[in-house]
Structure 1
């Protein structure tokens, strides 16, 4: 297969990118003995892309996501998100591995809180809450208590909360890692459909090569010591509006892409191979 080149990791587009990182490094600790979480990360994410970051623990995936969200500032390099310096909540929505809902509020109350933070008038919130819950497949759940929901339902509410401000960019940090396989598959389908319907740009972090291929339009493989983008893989799976995850898994193209990504992950974890290139398919 042709190799995929870095360091720019830039999809073909003339539009202003949703995410633009140039030589980003993040270091912690004293200057004499810093811990390098990220080093020399240069990448762009185009509007409407679904980009997946995948790699082993400690490779800087979450740190990179926090830079994009505006919770971390680069030690070196520059970061722009939606044409400006990243700032929490400015055009972005964030979903964590755990839902982090307010247990003393109802489902509707959790969403109302987010809508109030966005400045939506109180009289307009009920209609928007119904719209958001319908979007994530939970119509009529606004009066339910969060502790009455399953883990998958709670994560849907967390996604709805992240969409409350109609973000142009949605950031997700392993949101399905703690779920059972059946619920995870269902939410994978729903998230990909939601992204297609709304046109929201998505950056998604995962440890799973299979999940990365299922969801991404492009996958970036990260390596550690220091944390960096080691390779990228364009995903050309044909997805229709009602394509099921099980159907995608059964295709030869899915098997080929998953195999190539697994090889890239093995190479990145071992620190072997030329940076910016995927290993050849076996």
Structure 2
């Protein structure tokens, strides 16, 4: 008997982690009343306009640019905190929404001061559906990942600023997020703590394959952490937009010495190129 042909299933297409298509975000609302009618204006502020961006699975993308160019606004769109006025935003093929496999680290830790360090992490694990019996071991593992082993019973106000930010990073990693959003998480820290946390985040991203969108003002931090850097600008008060992209091809394997990486000619070249691009972008005509 002739053998029946076996159907071969075609591989499913892998969706990008994030897709922004011509995204525009406006704040405020249309002006009303006699004054607004006389001026013929609307009380609307356009934060970003016509921004398109795709984040592939597992990449580390950094947004750089001066204050007010819309970096945080884009991060909030991806997080599901900010609605899109025009265009579309998709995270894994669906509209962005808080939670749902996305971890967020803000500029400030925003921990619950009435809970212990472990209590903050347990709360996050509970929200991700981790059974109560598993939470203590997972809290211990998270603390170990950010260098805070044995500090689960401490109160958050007993910790230094750098330690609190480590807890915030651990909390963001509690649900093993596929997507990690970080808004200048090290801006307020001292240089030594900042370098230590940069290395921890770089190592965590390289070892876990998590997709990261990271906001910073620093060209050096962008080159150190990112696999690509997107430069934003809003010259002369115009809406923010992406004006340049710089791919970064540097070693990303866990255990790479950041001091040795910074000392390489390629790192210096990329940092200089990005610094020049940022300065030129800030002076772009409207």
Q: Does the pair score TM above 0.5? A: yes
User: Is this contact kept in 2: 1:213–1:235, CA < 8 A?
Assistant: yes
Instruction: Give SS of 2:29's match.
Output: coil
Deviations 1:9-60 (A, max 9, x none): xxxxx73111100000001123443211010000100000000000000000
Residue 222 (structure 2) pairs with residue 212 (structure 1): yes
Q: Name the residue aligned to 2:251.
A: 238
Matched, 1:172 2:182: yes
Note the C-alpha offset of 1:244. 2.1
Are positions 1:128 and 2:138 aligned together? yes
The answer on whether the counterparts of 2:206 and 2:252 sit within 8 Å (CA) in structure 1 is no
Question: Match of 1:145?
Answer: 155
Contact 1:24 1:76 in 2 (8 A): yes
Compute the RMSD of aligned alpha carbons.
1.3
Map 1:1-282 to 2 at 5 A: 15-31=14-30, 32-33=41-42, 34-224=44-234, 225-272=238-285
Moved over 6 A (4+): none
Q: Secondary structure of the equivalent of 1:261?
A: helix
- In structure 1, runs of 5+ residues without a counterpart are 1-13, 274-282
CA contact (8 A) 1:15 1:46 kept: no
Structure 1 residues 110-167: Cα deviation after superposition (integer angstroms, max 9, x where no partner): 1111112222221111111111111212121111111221211111110110111111
Deviations along 1:204-259, one digit per CA (max 9) or x if unpaired, are 00011110000000000001121111110000112332112211111110110011
TM-score w.r.t. structure 2 length? 0.88
Q: Is the 8 A contact 1:82 1:91 kept in 2?
A: no
Equivalents in 2 of 1:68, 1:77: separation in Å? 13
Distance 2:199 2:98 in 1: 27
Are 1:170 and 1:203, in contact at CA under 8 Å, matched by a contact in 2? yes
1:75 and 1:124 map into 2 onto residues whose CA distance is: 42
Q: In terms of Rg, which structure is larger?
A: 2
Tell me the alpha carbon deviations over residues 66-125 of structure 1, each in whole angstroms, 9 at most, x when there is no partner: 000000111000000122100001110000011111112111011111112222221111
SS state of the match for residue 264, structure 1? helix
Compare 234-243 and 187-196 and name the one that shifted more: 234-243
SS in 1 for 2:126: helix
Matched length: 260
**Structure 2, gaps ≥5 residues long:** 1-12, 31-40
Task: For 2:102 and 2:86, locate their aligned partners in 1 and report how far apart those are by CA, in whole Å.
Answer: 23
Residues 258-267 or 113-122, more deviating: 113-122
Q: Distance in 1 between matches of 2:279 and 2:16?
A: 30
TM-score scaled to structure 1, two decimals? Answer: 0.89
Distance 1:181 1:272 in 2: 35
Question: Is the contact made by 1:18 and 1:81 (CA closer than 8 Å) also made in structure 2?
Answer: yes
